[in-house]
A and B are shown apart, each in its own frame.
Chain A
Amino acid sequence: MVIPVPLIISSVLSKIGIGDPASSAIEKVLWNIRLPRIILASLAGIGLSLAGLSFQSLFANPLATPDTLGVASGSSFGACLGILMGFSLRGIQLMALALGLVAVSITWVCGRQKGRGTTTIVLSGIIIGSLFNALVSLVKYVADTETQLPSITYWLMGSMSGKGYSTLTIGSPLIVLGIVLLFLMRWRLNILPLSDDEAKASGTDIKKLRIAVIVIATALTASCVSMCGQIGWVGLIVPHICRMALGNSHEKLVPSSISIGATFLVVVDTMSRTIATSEIPISVLTALLGAPFFIVLMKKNGGWTL
């Protein structure tokens, strides 16, 4: 639907009491469909970027993504299960959030070993992630192919459509809280990639810091997946772009990831709903746009190292 810019401006003005509102359909599209969608896209963009940034620093691994600890797979399983059991949108979202947190708890319990850094946690995350992916396949297999399977398939591809303010009320509190916390502790995040000894020398309790970052990043990812399904690439590309441009200081990386993450996903989502009459799944576009852009940037800057 094309709404001319003057109409949008007059609609906004009418909200603060100047002039008359536009037609009922246009008002509904602007305020009940597009506005929550834009808020959702920016929050999800920020959440996924910050989660990716945190995990990359935490594991000192440039390949870490928000799904490294199996969160996204767990959330996906929760959502698919909700669809299978015919839950409401709210129920599906709560299932996704809950199962995402369950998945990461299992990862934590399985991978925690004294004196063994973070490698076993990552390994355990990969295992739990594929376990939940298998469960997703199982749900897809038993779902009714004519009624439930399409819903599950489209949900897994990720989408910002059909989401209203009620979607935001469940997903956004944790995201906003996570953003605020990570922003406040941004200078401490610089210690994360250091080795245990180096970190100790800085006088920070590295263990507590790591746990805090894992909890926050997990909550961010689970909230994002619960609202809009699996959206790949954002958590990988955005932090890398910021690092290539600004270096490794988290004092710069956190704010830049917030703004670039939000912008990136709002732009991609706008493209996804405007390129064709039928919406293009957003995870397809993040990959199609993200990959070439990322490669060009990497060739130019020679990548980055932690």
Chain B
Amino acid sequence: MKKILVVLMILICATSLFAQAAKEAAVVEETTTHIIVDHQGVEVEVPKKIDRIGVYNIYPLPSVITVFFNNANKLVAMSKPSLTAAQNGLLGKLYPEILDVDTASVTGQINIEELMKKNPDIVFINGGDAASRKLLNDAGIPAVGISVNKWDYDCIETLDNWIALLAELFPEDADKVQIVHDYSYKIYNEIQDRVKDIPQEERVRVFVLFQYSPSTMLTSGKHFFGQWWCDAIGAINVANELEKDNSSPVTMEQVYAWNPDAIVITNFTAAQPETLYTNGMGNDDWSAIKAVQDKRVYKTPLGMYRSYTPGADAPVSLLWWAKAIYPELFADMDLTAIAKDYYKTVFDVELSNEQVASIFAPPSSAAGGF
């Protein structure tokens, strides 16, 4: 009888211990993930500790992630255009490790089996891309939706929101949210102060050459980043009558009709100011356009990414736009010094003068595909 009692006691102790252990295990299980709300408003369960990140199709995001951590070690997959920009810009020089990030699994369409081999903890996707979200969820990979156009193509607000979402995923770097926000709006507000009194008829009329090949010319209508850049520096986007979302095709004849005062060429085309000065693309003759006659054609900077889109460079790019379009108004602002200060203050990245200079003189190959 005693023996039975002892055995029973032991059994009870064992089970309660086991239960305790199980309970503890469950507690550990509970705390390894948490729920966040992504830009699409979807609740996503993500691991608390994220070491491996994939980025599908949001081309500027890998550069933002890289400067956010000041290294590219967490990136395991990104789309090819992100790599091209890194190869041609400063990003690849500052963080050579980004050049080895896999692109095969997430270029074009997601190759889910290749991507699973990379074992990402989370993958960032375009918020509205429901098909990719389902594909990733079916494979057990949390898909975090990022938005590029939710904030009316406002590059600074978009960057703010990207950093905020990153801070939610990586709370140890949460202080960056405020730093980025403050710096961006310091520059933005300074620009507003200086341009607000320019009378409407004296505002510079800008044509944004978003993409340019022998067969196609694309610009930014009212609903694309070009409109925001122009608005943000007190210039007029000549193509603001175009209602098409994203880029809009435009003809040379239309450019003649607009006859812009200045032209800004993005890094989504190999064209340089020289290309327009020498009529070097297709059959287009630019010589009668005011901007070309006045030699007022500018190429956007290529910092961490093609800076026409939102990205880590947004505040510096904004100042570049302002200085390019209104040189006298911003003559006292030293772009190089401010760029260095921005990267140091916000991301703790030290840039040399040569590196900053390379941001503002991007090569044509930055537009290259493959």
Contacts and interface: CB of A to CB of B under 8 A. Distances in A.
B309 to A, nearest CB: 9
A33 interface: yes
Contact of A89 (B239, B282, B368, B369): B282
Given A28-B288, A151-B216, A167-B283, A162 B251 contact: yes
Nearest to A143: B369
- State the majority secondary structure of interface residues on A: helix
Given A150-B247, A279-B254, 9 more contacts: A1-B257, A28-B256, A28-B285, A29-B253, A32-B283, A34-B253, A145-B108, A147-B268, A162-B215
B132 interface: no
Interface in A147-175: 147-148, 150-151, 154-155, 159, 161-167
Contacts of B252: 33, 161-162
B81 interface: yes
Given A34-B253, A92-B214, A278-B244, A146 B108 contact: no
Interface residues of B, number: 42
A83 interface: yes
B73 interface: no
Interface in A80-105: 83-84, 86-89, 92
B110 interface: no
Interface string A15-54: 0000000001100110011101000000000000000000
Contacts of B369: 84, 143-144, 146-148
16 contacts: A1-B254, A25-B256, A28-B256, A29-B256, A92-B214, A144-B369, A145-B81, A147-B81, A155-B215, A155-B216, A162-B251, A163-B283, A277-B239, A278-B221, A278-B244, A278-B250
A162 B253 CA distance: 9
Interface of A: 1-2, 24-25, 28-29, 32-34, 36, 83-84, 86-89, 92, 141-148, 150-151, 154-155, 159, 161-167, 273, 277-279
A32 to B, nearest CB: 6
A196 B57 CA distance: 59
A175 B35 CA distance: 65
A166 B283 contact: yes
Contact of A33 (B215, B242, B253, B370): B253
A25 B269 contact: no
Contacts of A151: 211, 213, 215-216
A162 B284 contact: yes
Interface string B227-255: 00000000000010110100111111110
A277 B219 CA distance: 12
A146 B59 contact: yes
B90 to A, nearest CB: 19
B249 A25 contact: no
A269 B283 CA distance: 18
A92 B281 CA distance: 13
B217 interface: yes
